[in-house]
Amino acid sequence: MADRNPVDLGTGRDDVQLRFRSDEQAGIAAVTVDSFLDQPDAEAVRIEPGDNALDLLPHLSRLRLVEVNFPAFTDGRGYSSARTLREHGYTGELRAVGDVLVDQLRFMRRCGFDAFAPDAPINEADAAAALERFDHVYQPAADEAVPIWTLRHG
Amino acid sequence: MYQYDQYDQAMVDARVEEFRDQCRRRLEGTLTEDQFKPLRLQNGLYLQLHAYMLRVAIPYGTLSGKQMHALADIADKYDRGYGHFTTRQNIQYNWIKLEDCGDILADLAKVEMHAIQTSGNCIRNISSDQYAGAAADELVDPRPYAELLRQWSSFHPEFAHLPRKFKICVIASEKDRAAMRLHDIGINIVKNAEGTLGVAFYVGGGMGRTPMIAPLIREFVPLDQMVTYSEACLRVYNRHGRRDNKYKARIKILVHEMGAEEYTRQVEEEFAHLLEQDIEPPIAELDRIRSYFQPPEFATGLAEKADRSDPDFALWIDRNCSPHKVPGYVSAAISLKPVGGIPGDASAQQMHLMAELAKDYSFDECRVTHAQNIILPHVEVGRLYELWEKLDEAGLGTANLDQVGDIIACPGLDYCSLANARSIPVSQKISERFAANGKGELLGELKLKISGCINACGHHHAGHIGILGVDRKGVENYQLLLGGSEAEDVSLAKITGPGFNEDGIVDAVETVADLYLERREDGERFLDTYRRLGMDTFKEALYG
Ligand code: HEM
Ligand code: SF4
């Protein structure tokens, strides 16, 4: 809705610290959603919190990288954007950039993010602990985790 | 009652460890207060005027005796021997130390309790009808549906950073005892024309500074699509809810600004998509949960009438007991509103006693109500007298359910950093006034609700009489509101006019009560008389 203000697409954000994919990292620069929609050959896009991921659905096949920006970690729109893209079949890299903190990693993974370029480096021991802490999940999301209610009923 | 299996237990145990770790990083300084705040909030930990406040979840307000004992122990061990039962059927402790939090959560986990998502911008504890499983008029017990939603919403990865907090309420009768339509999502379990159970969704209600009554957006969602529909409602809100202004961030504002029709259209679209994603729990899970809410083994052939020869006891029955679906039983309300007391407060000793009584008289179950009282849901009529005697002896026998003394009040300026004015002393003065002048006895049902500021934690918008604390040039001042209701005849109260000082507001309440006593017609409650006469008549009495 309201805040579609262009933000700094500066360099630091592209430093991927954590990556959970086996393919080669795409060395392409992401552009804004508006530019992406204007450029038929663009392969990478950056979603801001005010962008609607649904606008990208007709173009998923040419996308190789989607960055979802979190200017403030408290703004949770990016979680819905991520899951929406995964549910509609996007399989390329889905990178969380910006104010990405260790305590959000697990939920981000669950929503389909598989790469992280945080503004401030994350302590990797804390990250590993955070990702392993819960053995189970209650509900399905964009990951492979089997919800407890399925485990209960086979 | 629901009982954890190994999965539920593992989830809360892991959460305890996670929070211990977050506290450690905060104390070490690797987490800033700004980073720690949303984390502690998702564990119910607020920083208040004098200390940390911890809010513990009581899912759909249902507690076992053992759990009530544990809450009492926490009050004794980590607080000052008190707990405060809240309007969302939870309990709060006002004097908590950060260093103790990990241990408190561990103590709670031992009795299958937690503080997960009791604050923060996430899906909060699910509330329900306090008479669930007992009420004579209910269609089914609503708690299995609330429990299913509790599980679905716990650690939901997509909805942990919503624009604002999110409250869901589930009921299953036409009478609304849980303020269902004043929730972000109100769910009413209904039967359709074919007699099949399903769910009606009301979305976009709330109190706070812009009170709204939730409109009905879907009359009937099949039971095996309830979670999917909820997910669609939340996703549209997460996508479009306002983030630019926290006072406009609740879903009620989205539904209002977008229009219920457009919101519904988007939900339906998302719902159709999510149905293909197959995210609904198997119906066997609902059956499994239901098996925990089977009625206890009620006795048959019991006496249906109590000996009413003690007039104080007879009054307590009339006021505090409600009809039960099984003959020979009633649900008995323990009022936490003694004359001049602090609404919703209970001492550790009282909590222990209530736990004992739940065990001895009510199949080991008790409930917390949104009006900050405790219910023993299943009591034999023939044993009411001895129960009442024990309650009375402990200061818990006040006969005032839904009467003028049964006041809902928020913590106000005595505890809360956002308050404009004190709520507790005003509620104490009002209950003392009406006890002393005897008018309390004459008034019948009169719901009075007080908030210390516009955030409306004390539900003042929904009071037959509401009181709102405001700041008038640095002086505490109180506005009077009339005509609200949180029940099935839901309405929002309106401000009468200029505010009053602390003594003035007590007088003003008496003035409107007098007008009612003078003008009421047969069988009318205060609210009915107000609705018939209209605001002007009451204004005239107040301001001349
Ligand atoms: C003492 C610390 C407390 C603080 C700082 C606090 C803060 C707030 C705030 C800021 C709101 C408005 C939220 C909004 O409209 O978006 C609110 C609403 C509310 N609070 Fe509290 N609160 C406190 C205690 C309580 C207590 C003790 C209760 C229960 C007795 C309570 C129950 C509620 C309820 C029912 C609402 C209304 C929800 C709605 O708008 O639909 N709060 N609170
Ligand atoms: S209504 Fe205001 S004063 Fe009362 S508890 Fe809520 S925020 Fe505090």
The whole-angstrom separation of Cα B506 and Cα B362 is: 38
**β-pair type (A31-32, B91-96):** unpaired
For chain B, give every domain's residue range.
6-110, 142-289, 311-393, 408-543
**Domain contains A105:** yes
Closest C-alpha residue for ligand 1 atom 25? B457
A153/B17 touch (CB, cutoff 8 Å), yes or no? no
Which tokens is B49 given?
């005027």
Res. A4: pLDDT tops 90:
no
Domain with residues B142-289, CATH architecture:
2-Layer Sandwich (3.30)
Residue A139 to residue B21, Cβ atoms within 8 A: no
Q: Which atom of ligand 2 is nearest to the CA of B452?
A: 3
Contact between B62 and B89 under an 8 Å Cβ cutoff? The reply is no
Residue A55 lies in a domain: yes
Sequence-distant (6+) residues with CB within 8 A of B522 are none
Q: Is residue A76 part of a domain?
A: yes
Range of lowest pLDDT (A100-109, B39-48, B291-300, B496-505): B39-48
**Of B388, B401, B404, B387, the residue nearest B322 (C-alpha):** B401
Task: Please give the radius of gyration of chain A, using alpha carbons only, rounded to the nearest integer.
Answer: 16
Query: In this structure, is residue A5 part of a structural domain?
Result: no
CATH topology of domain B408-543: Sulfite Reductase Hemoprotein; domain 1 (3.30.413)
Best residue in A100, A148, A150 for a mutation probing chain B (most B CBs within 10 Å): A148
Range of the domain at A121: 18-153
The sign of the dihedral angle between the CA atoms of B454, B459, B461, B465 is negative
pLDDT at B337 over 60: yes
Are residues B176 and B142 in contact, defined by beta-carbon separation less than 8 angstroms? no
pLDDT at A125 over 70: yes
> Which residue has its alpha carbon closest to ligand 2 atom 2?
B453
Of B35, B155, B239, nearest to A80 by CB-CB distance is: B239
d(CA A68, CA B499): 49
Q: What is the rounded distance in angstroms from the CA atom of residue B253 to the CA atom of residue B247?
A: 9
Report which DSSP code applies to B402. Answer: T
What residues of A are in contact with residue B119 (Cβ under 8 Å)?
none
| E strands present in B165-311 | 168-171, 185-191, 197-203, 216-222
**Residue A137 exposed, middle or buried by CB count within 10 Å (0-12, 13-18, 19+):** buried
Q: Does the pLDDT of residue B233 top 50, yes or no?
A: yes
Of B7, B162, B238, the CB nearest to A151: B7
Amino acid at B421: A
pLDDT in tens, B491-537: 999 999 999 999 999 999 999 999 999 999 999 999 999 999 999 99
Number of independent structural domains in chain A: 1
Is residue B51 in contact with ligand 1, taking CB distance under 6 Å? Answer: no
How many CB atoms are closer than 10 A to CB B392? Answer: 15
* Helices (H), ranges, B111-181: 143-153
| pLDDT band per the 50, 70, 90 thresholds, residue A12 | very low
Give the rounded percent of residues in chain B with a pLDDT score beyond 90. Answer: 89
Mutate to test the pocket of ligand 1, among B408, B455, B486, B490 (most ligand atoms within 8 A of CB): B455
How many other CB atoms are there within 10 angstroms of residue B98's CB atom?
A: 16
- Among B234-243, B304-313, B408-417, B474-483, the least confident range: B408-417
Distance CA B214, CA B201 (A): 9
Mean pLDDT, residues B457-486 taken together? 96
Q: How far is CA B138 from CA B171, B172, B248, in A?
A: 9, 6, 35
Q: pLDDT band at residue B44, thresholds of 50, 70 and 90?
A: confident
Q: Are B114 and B105 in contact (CB under 8 A)?
A: yes
In B381-447, at which residue ranges do the beta strands (DSSP E only) sit? 408-409
Looking at per-residue confidence, does A13 or B125 come out higher?
Answer: B125
DSSP per position, B499-528:
-B-HHHHHHHHHHHHHHHHHH--TT--HHH
Q: Are B492 and B211 spatial neighbours (Cβ–Cβ below 8 Å)?
A: yes
Q: Which candidate, B180, B164, B163, B170, places its Cα nearest to that of B149? A: B170
CB contacts of B273 in chain A (<8 Å) are: 87
Token pair 């995964």: residue? A86
Q: Do B288 and A153 touch (CB under 8 A)?
A: yes
Query: DSSP string covering A18-45, please?
Result: EE--SSPPP----EEHHHHHH-TT--EE
Residue in B10, B22, B155 nearest the CB of A103: B22
pLDDT of B415: 85
Q: How far is the CA of B88 from the centre of ligand 1 (A)?
A: 9
Query: What's the CA-to-centroid distance between B139 and ligand 2, angstroms?
Result: 35
pTM, entire model: 0.94
Side-chain half-sphere of B306: how many Cα atoms within 13 Å? 23
- A153: Cα separation from own chain's centroid: 31
List the residue whose alpha carbon is closest to atom 38 of ligand 1: B207
Which residue in B has a C-alpha nearest to residue A76's C-alpha?
Answer: B161
Looking at CATH, the fold of the domain delimited by B311-393 is given as Alpha-Beta Plaits (3.30.70)
Ligand nearest the Cα of residue B87 is 1
Minimal-distance CA residue to ligand 1 atom 18: B457
**Can you tell me the distance from the alpha carbon of B79 to that of B300, in angstroms, rounded to the nearest whole number?**
43
pLDDT of residue B28: 86
Query: Which residue from B minimizes the CA distance to A134?
Result: B14
Whether pLDDT at B166 is above 90? yes
Q: Is A108 on the interface with B (CB under 8 A)?
A: yes
Contact (CB<8Å) B158/A107:
yes
Characterize the bridge pairing of strands B448-451 and B465-472: parallel
- Using one digit for the tens of pLDDT, what is the confidence trace for B415-450? 888 999 999 999 999 999 999 999 999 999 999 999
CATH number of the domain to which A51 belongs: 3.40.50
User: Does the structure's ipTM exceed the value 0.85?
Assistant: yes
Instruction: Answer yes or no: is the C-beta of B344 below 6 A from any ligand 2 atom.
Output: no
Separation of CA B70 from chain center: 20
The best mutation among B48, B457, B471, B478 to test binding of ligand 2, ranked by most ligand atoms within 8 Å of the C-beta, falls on B457
Q: Judge whether A6 lies within some domain.
A: no
Structure tokens at B267: 């939900």
Distances (CA, A) of B22 to B27, B39, B43: 9, 8, 11
At A11, the pLDDT band (50, 70, 90 cuts) reads very low
Domains B142-289 and B408-543 share a fold: yes
Domain covering B6-110: architecture: Alpha-Beta Complex (3.90)
CB within 8 A of B270, min separation 6: which ones? B232, B235, B236
In a domain, A12, yes or no: no
Q: Is the pLDDT of residue B481 over 70?
A: yes
Question: Residue A14's pLDDT is what?
Answer: 57
Check if the beta carbon of residue A100 is closer than 8 Å to that of residue A116: yes
Q: Does A96 have pLDDT greater than 60?
A: yes
Q: Which of A3, A74, A135 sits opposite B38 (nearest CB)?
A: A74
Cα–Cα dist A3/B157, whole Å: 24
One-letter amino acid for residue B164 of the chain: R
Q: Token digits for B65?
A: 């005796």
Question: What average pLDDT does this structure show over B243-248?
Answer: 93
For residue B472, the CA-to-ligand 1 centroid distance in Å is: 22
Q: How far is the CA of A148 from the centre of ligand 2 (A)?
A: 37
Instruction: Find the chain B residues whose C-beta atoms sit closer than 8 A to any C-beta of A.
Output: 5, 7-8, 10-11, 14, 17-18, 21-22, 25, 30, 35, 38-39, 121, 151-152, 154-162, 227, 235, 238-240, 242-244, 273, 277-279, 281-282, 284-285, 288
**Which of A80, A103, A137 has the CB atom closest to B235's CB atom?**
A80
Cβ distance A3 to B243 less than 8 Å, yes or no, reads yes
- Contact yes or no for B10 and A2 at CB 8 A: no
* Distance separating alpha carbons of residues B209 and B213, to the nearest angstrom: 13
Tokens representing B326?
């099984």
Mutate to test the pocket of ligand 1, among B252, B457, B460 (most ligand atoms within 8 A of CB): B457
Nearest Cα neighbor of A104 from B434, B42, B248 is: B42
- Whether A104 has a pLDDT exceeding 70, the answer reads yes
Instruction: Give A120's pLDDT tier (boundaries 50, 70, 90).
Output: very high
Under a CB-based contact definition with an 8 Å cutoff, are residues B117 and B124 in contact? yes
Q: Do the beta carbons of residue B263 and residue B216 sit within 8 Å?
A: no
| Secondary structure percentages of chain A, helix, strand, coil, to 5 | 35, 15, 50
Ligand 1: residue whose CA is nearest its atom 9: B455
